[in-house]
Copies of this chain bind each other. A is one copy, B any other.
Amino acid sequence: MSCEGETVALLRSGGHRLTPQRQRVASALQHAGGHRTVEELHALIAHEQGAPMPLSTVYRALTTLKELRAVSEIDAGGRSAFAWVDRSRPHHHLVCRGCGTERDLDPALLQRLGDAIRAATGFEAFLDHFAITGQCESCRQGAARA
């Protein structure tokens, strides 16, 4: 994956320094894909060759990358996880509180929300990657019967 350039440009544009720690965290998350916990990223980085990195540095790198919208933090049910943000391809999750099943949500629906918010208030909502909790259809029917 040729993603180093993207990370470099993002950090520079935000006025942040380009450090190997930030690059390694960004690279680990980009290459691992999906939703990753801090622990997972830390382990992935430890398995590489190179200096070990303390957990606190992973946390700090993720905080910086979140500020730049390069990374999103999501709370899908259990604990929080991080994902690399592809702004050109937003995606979102519907998580059922009853059975825990998860399905994706058409990003156009959230884009419409963002457009409505901007039209009504001038505020630009960052809707890159969301997890919306609720009740799936089958759990709802089960609850209605009871």
Task: Please list the residues of chain A having a beta carbon within 8 angstroms of any beta carbon in chain B.
Answer: 67, 94, 96-97, 103, 105-106, 109-110, 112-113, 116-117, 120-127, 132-137, 140
Contact = CB atoms under 8 A, between A and B. Distances in A.
Contacts of A134: 117, 123-126
A119 to B, nearest CB: 10
Main secondary structure of the interface of A (DSSP, over half): mixed
B103 A121 contact: yes
24 contacts: A67-B97, A94-B117, A94-B121, A94-B125, A103-B121, A103-B123, A105-B117, A105-B121, A106-B120, A109-B120, A110-B113, A112-B116, A113-B113, A117-B132, A122-B136, A122-B137, A123-B135, A123-B136, A124-B134, A124-B140, A125-B133, A126-B133, A126-B135, A127-B132
Given A109-B120, A113-B113, A125-B133, 5 more contacts: A67-B97, A109-B113, A109-B116, A124-B135, A127-B132
Contacts of A67: 97
Contact of A123 (B113, B125, B137): B137
